[in-house]
Amino acid sequence: MDTAIRAELPRDLVLVGAGHAHVQVLRRWMMKPVPSVRLTLVLDCPEAVYSGMVPGFVAGDYEARELEIDAVPLARRARARIVLARAVGVDPEARRVAVEGRAPLSYDFASLDVGSSVRGLDLPGVVEHALVTRPIRSLVGALEARLAQLPGGDAMPNVCVVGGGAAGVELCFALDARLRAQGRAFRLTLVCDTVEVLPGHGQRFVQRARREAESRGVRVVCRTRVERVGKGELFVEGEREPFPADLVLWATGAAPVALGLDSRLPRNAAGFVRVRDTLEVEGCPGLFAAGDCAGISGFDWVPKAGVYAVREGPVLDANLRRALAGRALRRYRPQTDFLALLNLGDRRALGEKRGCVAAGPAVWRLKDWIDRRFMRRFQVLDAASAPARDFPSAESMGMESMDCGGCAAKLGATSLDAALARLGTPPADESVLVGLARPDDSAALALSGGAVLLATIDGFRAFCDDPWLVGRVAAVNALGDVFAKGGRPRHALALVTVPDESARAGEETLYQVLAGVRAALDPLGVSLVGGHTTRGPELFVGLAVTGDLPAGGDLLSLDGARPGDVLVLTRPLGSGVLLAADMQGLARGAWVRDLHASLVRSNQCAAEVARSSGATASTDVSGFGLAGHLAELLRASGVSARVRLEALAPFPGALELLARGLRSSYHEQNESRRRAIDFAPTASGPRVALLFDPQTAGGLLLALPPERVDAALAALHEAGDPEAVRIGEVTARSEEGFVFSAV
């Protein structure tokens, strides 16, 4: 089938969300990709929570991590581009997905699998006082804290579950099991507006669940509509007195999410995206939807249950491939009978199949086996964040280590120094205040009237396959050279090498890059005034930036550090190894999300703090790593330093990856200067490696007068650099010839 893909490639397939159907598409794409089709996954949260195991988590049978599918490494294994942002709309006519905070994504084909919300969130007090079960991640994250807030001692807390479907009943039993296991006394009530609990299930199944509730003392109140939720109270229709409720869990059934409601998409009577039995959205060629967000025409009886989303996955994958090949689509037929498994807590479950009902530990073990088998297919990393033993390795899939992008793609410092030395001394020029004869982050040029022009150029090959993110980070990185000198960037020129691809694809890549560049420049008042484009084998983005010094401001040079000054680093380290791991599908999504949040932030606020705090020297930390850039500052100032390794702040995940031996491709070049550092005998392990990790869009390294450090750190933390930290002190030049010591 793949060889039949038509000629106007490459084409873009965009998956929005990582629900039960989409993770199967990613797994199948990982095993059998379609040539020349660019796959993109849009996520508002890196981890997808498997709903089938949530009651077991509530009951205390599972840890939170066991419920999670980390979609980022899974997507990387599928060689998918990842956009960590919330999709806010779909324009099916223009074939674009609107994404919060960034340029829209164009698609040839797209699919939505974004789950559902819960009904009744508009009722007074629900959002403020109830623990809502969707999004599921919010429930998992908040449950422990809410249970800890229940009255203790001799008090008997009242817990209410609102919703009589499978989700509400399971949560009721799971909460009962958890609280009893903790030895707590409590009153548990289930309230629903249906005639009976578990609508749609067989009578024997319902009766068995009813007996289970009665045996545990769970009060079940049907045909009762909740009007509002107060603090410690649940107000219901027809009752003058509210139900006492120290904790309310809201599990009232599925409701459409905003993405479907806010887009120009057809919807069924319940508000869900209306799709044909092929899972293609009605009247929207090339757009598909699956899982809870979709309603299949002619099958309104299908409940919003995970089993249906799971069964839709293979059909969705097949139809996306068929659509790309221009072939007829398969029809999906929801099963009318399936094995229903209801978690009763206490490691017991209730099962139903074709009218046969059974309950007990054996049924729970069956459910546990089914759930764990499903999860193993998608969990790339294990609990220790190492490659999962049961998952295909990156090497077995041909994902060999590649050269890194970003600032980890620099020419080595030794080669750079040697090349510049061979050029000889440049001609004298009185207008050049800082240049090749006195290297620094930015050149400084004297203008008439005493003004100073700062000028720099920086660029790199793409560190990921998201051109918008590459463009924004490239701009942030280039601006950092001007900010490091205490300057104000004013104008920028862009140089972009667009990969050799079709004219339409090249236009989209350039648009995304420049939109990312503008996203960094515009809020700072920096004008993009022009640039140049070329075609080449891979994406490269560079910027030339000019700026000036604020009125009365002095240049924050490299050469002003003095013995006794304190060294402050404004941001964490480890971006090089994290970007390398992400390329291979070895980085957790949460790590990547936190890293990206740092990469897109400028050093403007840190530069303002540096100026106001009287910094004696400043530089930004980028491709040469902390060790390399600190060495430049110390040599220029004619001093040495003492660095405390334990003080270095790593990005989440960086130390774990370094400890496992993972390195950026540029790490070895940086570490070649290790002999210039005096390491204490106890200095070893990943924190030593952190010194040499090449940084992209890193923070500022400042030398500050000791009496100004505490105030400067407080200002940095308040300005948005909470990880800013004192890492050492400037000392007199080492008599042994070491650039600095590390202890």
Q: Return d(Cα 706, Cα 689) in angstroms, integer.
A: 28
3-state helix, strand, coil in the chain (%, to 5): 35, 25, 40
Classify each residue of 514-546 as buried b or exposed e, where b means 16 or more C-beta atoms within 10 Å of its C-beta.
bbbbbbbbeeeebebeeeeeeeeeebbbbbbbb
Quick one: CA torsion of 182, 184, 187, 189, rounded to 10 degrees? -10
Could you tell me the strand order of the sheet in which 158-162 lies?
A: 131-132, 247-250, 158-162, 187-191, 219-221
Point out which residues pair with 566 in neighbouring strands.
704, 729
Task: Give the other-Cβ count within 10 Å of 41's Cβ.
Answer: 26
Q: Return d(Cα 135, Cα 45) in angstroms, integer.
A: 11
Point out which residues pair with 230 in neighbouring strands.
233
Question: What does DSSP say about strands 233-236 and 243-244: parallel, antiparallel, or unpaired?
Answer: antiparallel
Contact call for residues 279 and 286 (beta carbons, < 8 A): no
**What are the helix (H) ranges across 263-305?**
none
Q: What is the residue type of 313?
A: G
User: Which residue among 172, 407, 464, 605 is the active-site one?
Assistant: 407
Q: Return d(Cα 281, Cα 95) in angstroms, integer.
A: 13
Q: Where are the beta strands (DSSP E) in 119-165?
A: 131-132, 158-162
Q: Return d(Cα 645, Cα 10) in angstroms, integer.
A: 47
Residue 156 to residues 151, 159, 247, Cα–Cα distance (Å): 7, 10, 12
**Closest by alpha carbon to 309, among 599, 22, 736?**
22
Q: Return d(Cα 489, Cα 478) in angstroms, integer.
A: 10
Residue 407 annotated among the catalytic residues of the structure: yes
Q: Is 735 exposed, middle or buried (0-12, 13-18, 19+ CB in 10 A)?
A: exposed
Angle between helices 467-484 and 503-521 (to 10 degrees): 40
**What are the helix (H) ranges across 534-624?**
575-583, 589-599, 604-612
Angle between helices 589-599 and 467-484 (to 10 degrees): 50
- Measured in degrees and rounded to the nearest 5, phi and psi for residue 434 equal -135, 125
**Residues acting as catalytic residues:** 407
